[in-house]
Amino acid sequence: MAMGSGSKRFMSDINVTPLVDVMLVLLIIFMVTAPMMMQGVNVSLPQTRSKPLTAEKEYLTVTIDRNAQVFINDYKVALEALEDKMKRILEGRPDQRVYLRADKQVPYGVVVQVVSQIKNAGVQKLGMVTEPVKKKPHRR
């Protein structure tokens, strides 16, 4: 690109407009997709008045969603295969503590079957995950 009146110098300025456009598009894409990348199985836990437990580390979590599908952490497992998978997972773990999360809409019989499978796998400490009861504000 030549500058006016016979000067043969090149213009060395970088056009940053396309770079800014691309960066803004990427920013928008990441902002939209980040909430969708949340891990875990969505369940509506029953509410209780018990005190919350402090967890020093991540423990194995078995989840039953409202469609009675069973998950070990975030991986779907057939109910019939749960006991075998739990045995294999727990072989290499010194602490065999497991937490159970079940949607409050799941029939009691399904929860009992899952608990039975977990206990048959050799788990001695099984915790039940709940949500604290939401306190209603007092009216005066």
What pTM does this model have? 0.57
Residue 62 or residue 135, greater confidence:
62
DSSP conformation letters of 40-103: S----PPEE-PPPPP-SS--EEEEE-TT--EEETTEEE-GGGHHHHHHHHHTT-S--EEEEEE-
| pLDDT attached to residue 137 | 59
- Does the structure show a pLDDT above 70 at 12? yes
| pLDDT attached to residue 7 | 65
- Does the structure show a pLDDT above 80 at 23? yes
Question: Where are the domains positioned within the chain?
Answer: 47-132
The confidence band for 22, taking pLDDT boundaries of 50, 70 and 90, is very high
Instruction: Convert the pLDDT of each residue in 70-82 to its tens digit.
Output: 998 888 999 899 9
The domain defined by 47-132 carries CATH number 3.30.420.270: yes
Nearest in space to 94 (alpha carbons), one of 68, 125, 120, 53? 125
